Amino acid sequence: MSPETGTLFLHPDRNLALELVRATEAAAIRAVPFIGKGDKLAADGAAVDAMRKFLGTVDFDGLVVIGEGEKDNAPMLFNGEHVGTGRGPACDIAVDPIDGTSLTAAGRQNAISMIAVSDRGTMLDASTVFYMDKIVTGAEGVGVVDIHKPIGENIRALAKAKGKAPEDIVVAVLDRPRHAQLIEDIRAAGAGTRLMLDGDVAGGINAALYGTRIDMCVGVGGSPEGVATACAIKALGGEIQTILYPQSDEERQRGMDAGLKFDHVYTSDEMVASDNTFFVATGVTDGGLVKGVRRYGPIIRTESIVLRSHSGTIRRISADHLAEKWLDH
C-alpha cells in the first residue's frame, strides 16, 4: 500500500460525502408523507429507518457520537452505535434524520435531514448536557465577535468588519421565551431578528454562508446541534463559539463527570478536533439553506448541500428520483 492510499484509507476521502448524501436524501424522501400531518414521531421514525438502511451500505466505520439518544430509548442510530460496512475510514458521525421534526409535522419551513462527519475520536461528546449558548458568524466574525460580550457590541463589531451599518445586520435566534431579553437587545442595537421556530443547525450555517440574508446566529440551542454546526462552520471558514448551558446542578455534575468544561468557551477546534470534516444536509421542507422535497409527477426532486472542510468546497446537489422506486412500497 503506498503512502497516498494509506492516508486515504485512514481518513474520510472525498467520495464519502457523495455516499452520505444518499442517506440524507433517503431520510428526507421518506419523511414527505408525514409533512403537515401532525405526527412528529412517525415522521422521525420513517426518516431514521431510511437513513440507517442507507448508512449500512457505505464503506466506512462510523461511530455515532451524536444520534437519536441513548441506546435504551432509540432503537436505531443511538449514541455509540457503529454504522457502515466497517471497511474504510474510521469516523465520528453526528446524525439528525430530521432536524425540525415538529416543523415537519406542522408543515413549516426549515426542516432538514443532516449528517456531520469527522475523523475518529475528534468529535466532542456533549450528550450529557443538553443545551449550549452560541454565537455563529461567517469568516468576517473570526477574531471579531466574542460570546462573553453584550450582543450589541458583537453586532456593531461584526457590522464594522462587514462594512455594513448595524441596522443592516440580521440575527437568527430561536423563538423561545428564554430569548426574550436577547431579542430585545438585538433590536435595541438596531439590528433585525430572524426568529426561528426550530431547526437551529440551518440557522447557524446560513449565518456563515455567503449570499444569505443572515449575518449571525445566537442564543441557547441543543448541544448536539452545536457540534454538528461546528463541522459545517469548519468547512465554511466561519466562527462559532459555544458555552455549555446546564439546566440543573445534577446536569452540570454529569457533564463534569464526562470531562466537559463549564464557563469555558468551546471553539470549533475544540468541538471538532479535525480539519477533515464533512457536513451533508437535504431539505425536508423549504428553507433558507436548501429547498424541500418536491414531487413532479413521476419524479421526486431533492436539494442537498455538501460541505467539506479539507477542500473548502460547497456543493449543492439537486437530484431527481423515480417516485415509483420510493413511495409505492
**Whether 164 and 81 share a structural domain:** no
Residue 8 pLDDT > 80: no
Indicate whether 104 belongs to any domain: yes
For residues 102 and 183, state if they share a domain: no
**With 50 as the cut, is the pLDDT of residue 272 above it?**
yes
Confidence of residue 3 (pLDDT cuts 50, 70, 90): very low
| Measured distance CA(115)–CA(118) in Å, rounded | 10
Q: Does any domain span residue 125?
A: no
SS (H, E, C) 243-256: EECCCCHHHHHHHH
Q: What is the DSSP string of 219-245?
A: EEEEHHHHHHHHHHHHHHT-EEEEEE-
**CATH label of the domain that carries residue 79:** 3.30.540.10
> Do 184 and 312 belong to one domain?
no
pLDDT band at 12 (very low <50, low <70, confident <90, very high): low
pLDDT given at position 72: 65
Total number of domains constituting the chain: 2
141 and 47 both lie in a single domain = no
End-of-domain residue from the set 256, 271, 286 = 271
Q: Are residues 106 and 152 in the same domain?
A: no
Give the helix ranges, DSSP H, for 32-150.
Answer: 40-55, 101-106
Q: 5 pLDDT exceeds 90?
A: no
Same domain, yes or no: 43 and 97: yes
The confidence score (pLDDT) of residue 218 equals 98
3-state secondary structure of 147: coil
Letter string b/e over residues 161-186, b meaning 16 or more CB atoms within 10 A of that residue's CB: bbeeebeebbbbbbebeebeebbebb
Note whether 173 and 226 are same-domain residues: yes
Residue 116 lies in a domain: yes
Indicate whether 256 belongs to any domain: yes
- Reported as a single tens digit per residue, the pLDDT across 183-204 is 999 999 999 999 998 888 999 9
- Looking at the structure, tell me whether residues 11 and 74 fall in a common domain: yes
Residue 6 has pLDDT above 60, yes or no: no
Q: Which pLDDT belongs to residue 214?
A: 95
Quick one: 264 and 283 in the same domain? no
Work out the percent of the chain whose per-residue pLDDT is above 70. 94
Q: How many CB atoms lie within 10 A of CB 325?
A: 10
> Which domain covers residue 86, as residue numbers?
3-120+277-326
Among 229, 253, 271, the domain-final residue is 271
In terms of Cβ atoms closer than 10 Å to its own Cβ (0-12, 13-18, 19+), residue 316 is exposed
- Is 167 or 288 the better-scoring residue by pLDDT? 167
Name the domain boundary from 271, 290, 311: 271
Task: Assess whether 246 and 151 both reside in one domain.
Answer: yes
- What integer pLDDT is reported at residue 313 of this predicted model? 87
50 to each of 20, 26, 47, 188, 276, how far by Cα in Å?
12, 6, 5, 45, 26
pLDDT band at 328 (very low <50, low <70, confident <90, very high): low
Q: 244 with 294, same domain?
A: no
Q: In this structure, how many other beta carbons lie within 10 angstroms of the beta carbon of residue 22?
A: 18
Tell me the average pLDDT of the chain.
92
In this structure, the answer to whether residues 95 and 38 fall within a common structural domain is yes
In a domain, 40, yes or no: yes
Question: How many CB atoms neighbour CB 70 within 10 A?
Answer: 11
Of 207, 242, 199, 212, give the one whose Cα is nearest residue 98. Answer: 199
CATH number of the domain within which 135 lies: 3.40.190.90
Instruction: Classify residue 202: in a domain, yes or no.
Output: yes
Q: Is residue 126 part of a domain?
A: no
Residue pLDDT, tens place only, 290-315: 999 999 999 999 999 999 998 888 99
The structure's pTM equals 0.91
pLDDT tens track for 209-249: 988 999 999 999 999 999 999 999 999 999 999 999 999 99
* 149 in any annotated domain: yes
Q: In which band, very low, low, confident or very high, does the pLDDT at 321 lie, cut at 50, 70 and 90?
A: very high
